[in-house]
Amino acid sequence: MIKYEIVNSKLPQTKSLDVDFVIEEIEEIINTYGLNITQKTTLSTLKGSIHYHLKQGKNAGVLELTYWASKHRLWTEIHDNRLAEWNKDLIVPFTQALADCFCGELINENS
Q: What is the tens place of the pLDDT at every residue in 28-79?
A: 999 999 999 999 999 999 999 999 999 999 999 999 999 999 999 999 999 9
Q: How many domains does the chain have?
A: 1
Q: Measured between alpha carbons, how far is 108 from 76 in angstroms, rounded to an integer? A: 10
CATH number at residue 96: 3.30.160
21 is in which domain, residue-wise?
A: 2-108
Q: Measured between alpha carbons, how far is 109 from 77 in angstroms, rounded to an integer? A: 10
Residues composing the chain: 111
What are the tens digits of pLDDT across the range 66-104? 999 999 999 999 999 999 999 999 999 999 999 999 999
